[in-house]
Amino acid sequence: MAKEYPKQMVPYVELPKFEEYREWFKNYADLTRKDGILQVAIRTGDHKAYWSGGMHRAMGQLSRIISMDHDNEVVIWTSATEDWIQDQDPNGWDRYADERFEHQYYDDMNLIKNMVFDLDVPTIGAMTGPGFHWDAPLLCDITIVSEDVYFDDPHLSSGMVSGDGMGLLLQQLIGLKHANYLILTGGQIDAKTAYDWGMVSEIAPKDKVLERAWECARIIKSAPYHARCVASSLCKRPMQRALMNDLRVNTLSEAYSTQISLNYGNYGGTENDQVDERFSGIWWRWRCSKDSDEELLNPRTYAGKIHDRVTAVEWFKEKHPEEYAELAKDLDGDHDYK
């Protein structure tokens, strides 16, 4: 029974309980908690996690909400499936044009800063496989990844400035020259290189990533509550300083570049085409596959960069013919990648 304090003039504000906010976010994440360890496993409805305006917004909302529940003593941020985000909801940005400021200013910043400024408890990122927009698990105090993970920042390759946190994280975690090369060329590094360069804490077998994350969470939980929380705040300070210095100007730079591209009609990196979200999903999935290794893990070439859209579609047609046939029905006929 909770202790009562009858001499208070008014009671404390009652914040939402775990069961309540777990229901709020059920379309974007599975929330499970045991012994004070909260696991956030992202997904889209009953499917794998698809990148969308809703997911973009929910990630920042969720980190803020769970930070207000002091029963969440250690947080594990992971995926509900064997890979990270690899695809787009083709209709997931329908509200974007009407809410561009909210998406590209508030949502972009909140997705990044709330992980570091709001979550005042130890955090563990657990990437069970490759995928795009890996910022949340990399913003955690500890990051454990599967052996098949790749890291890249393909924003510029799709005609956008990398201002939503990924480029900034690369500069902080792997050093300026390594980061700038990936930002400007669209190249990749594998899990071993990421570990060697200090980007991740540990590499685990694909089926052991979550097991290792929970083991680390139990180790952290064994320390006194006050000590582990303050220790986590010290772990976050270098990243907090970086975000204070640069996140806002990065965010505004991406928003500005996007608006210019939209005005010119070349939002997507080609001379004449706007980006198609269905195509982006094909492109991402190729970039996350072993079949892209030769092109993306080696020093980049101009010919490879110019033709990687066509390469991605050809790969998708071969590997996923039925899914491609379904997607192709809706693709804009003016796109040269069909």
Q: What pLDDT score was predicted for residue 278?
A: 67
CB burial of 125-154 (b: ≥16 within 10 Å; e: otherwise) equals: bbbbbbbbbbbbbbbbbbbbbbebbbbbbb
Residues 6 or more apart whose Cβ sits within 8 Å of residue 54? 27, 28, 89, 92
Phi, psi (5° rounding) for residue 134? -85, 15
* Tens digits of pLDDT across the chain (338 residues): 667 788 888 988 999 999 999 999 999 999 999 999 999 999 999 999 999 999 999 999 999 999 999 999 999 999 999 999 998 887 888 887 788 889 889 999 999 999 999 999 999 999 999 999 999 999 999 999 999 999 999 988 877 899 889 999 999 999 999 999 999 999 999 999 999 999 999 999 999 999 999 999 999 999 999 999 999 999 999 999 999 999 999 999 998 988 887 787 766 555 444 456 667 788 889 999 999 999 999 999 999 988 888 899 899 999 999 888 877 666 554 444 44
Q: What pLDDT score was predicted for residue 268?
A: 58
Residues 211, 315: Cα–Cα separation, whole Å: 33
Please report which residue ranges of the chain form alpha helices under DSSP H.
Answer: 18-24, 53-67, 100-101, 108-117, 135-139, 166-174, 176-185, 191-196, 209-221, 225-264, 277-287, 293-296, 302-319, 321-328
**In angstroms, what CA-CA distances link 6 with 10, 12, 14, 143?**
9, 12, 16, 45
Phi, psi (5° rounding) for residue 210? -65, -35
Find, among 10, 58, 4, the residue nearest to 31 by Cα. Answer: 58
Torsion of CA 182, 185, 188, 189, to 10 degrees: -50
Torsion of CA 247, 250, 251, 257, to 10 degrees: 180
Residues 233, 231: Cα–Cα separation, whole Å: 5
Given the structure tokens 């072993």, which residue do they identify? 290
Find, among 56, 148, 154, the residue nearest to 102 by Cα. Answer: 56
- For residue 253, what are its two tokens? 């730079």
Q: What pLDDT score was predicted for residue 331?
A: 56
Q: What pLDDT score was predicted for residue 8?
A: 84
Q: What pLDDT score was predicted for residue 267?
A: 64
**Beta partners for residue 41, in sequence order:** 30, 78
Q: What pLDDT score was predicted for residue 259?
A: 84
User: Residue 290, class by beta-carbon neighbours within 10 Å (0-12 exposed, 13-18 middle, 19+ buried)?
Assistant: exposed
pTM of the predicted model as reported, rounded to 2 decimal places: 0.93
Residues 63, 51: Cα–Cα separation, whole Å: 17
Residues 165, 214: Cα–Cα separation, whole Å: 27
